[in-house]
């Protein structure tokens, strides 16, 4: 989807993460892991996506400093989204990666309930993110690169929203 820049940027990030994990074991503590990933993406990913992911991961690390139970992960998702909204200037419905992230976050709120089973909730969150990414196909772009392009030419789903859904799908598959 898009002009290819988003795909190249995400591929560069994936290669950097693969090299990083191959060179040394990643930090075991979730907050440290997210902070290290933020630094890596800010350095290696490039583009506005790299900055936004860096902001997201840095903010998401904060709720995980005192523990990493399931409610803390839901809080981490919300903190990351809030940072992206505050610094990036986009909101859900603007045809950006936030559409997928916010859809997933709504489902992940179930993690705050007692006795929640992670994998079914995460699977539902991924499906919600994928549906939200597809729904961007019919949205008017209110932010991001697509906002500079005529709506008549935006025939594909937002590349950032598609990429977020793919990242979440990879996390789910990795946990399975």
What are the 10-residue block averages of pLDDT along the chain, 176 residues in total?
74 95 94 97 91 96 94 96 92 88 96 92 97 86 52 69 95 93
In DSSP notation, 95-153 reads SSHHHHHHHHHHHHGGGGSTT--HHHHHHHHHHHHHHHHHHGGGSPP-SSGGGGS-GGG
pTM reported for the whole predicted model: 0.88
* CB-based contact 36:53 (threshold 8 Å): no
The pLDDT of residue 2 is 54
Taken in order of first residue, the domains within the chain and their CATH numbers are 5-175 (1.25.40.340)
The pLDDT of residue 148 is 45
- Distance, in Å, from the CA atom of 89 to the CA atom of 104, rounded to the nearest integer, reads 19
């Amino acid at each position: 989807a898009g002009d290819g820049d988003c795909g190249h940027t995400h591929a560069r990030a994936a290669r950097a993460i693969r090299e990083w994990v191959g060179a040394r074991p990643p930090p075991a503590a979730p907050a440290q892991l997210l902070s290290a990933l933020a630094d890596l993406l800010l350095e290696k990913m490039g583009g506005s996506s790299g900055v936004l992911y860096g902001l997201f991961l840095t903010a998401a690390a904060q709720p995980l400093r005192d523990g990493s139970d399931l409610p803390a992960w839901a809080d981490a998702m919300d903190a990351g989204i809030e940072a992206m909204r505050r610094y990036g200037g986009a909101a859900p419905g603007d045809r950006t990666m936030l559409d997928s992230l916010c859809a997933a976050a709504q489902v992940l709120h179930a993690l705050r309930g007692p006795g929640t089973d992670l994998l079914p909730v995460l699977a539902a969150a991924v499906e919600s993110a994928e549906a939200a990414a597809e729904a961007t196909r019919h949205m008017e772009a209110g932010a991001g690169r697509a906002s500079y392009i005529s709506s008549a030419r935006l025939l594909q789903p937002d590349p950032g929203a598609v990429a977020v859904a793919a990242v979440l799908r990879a996390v789910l598959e990795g946990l399975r």
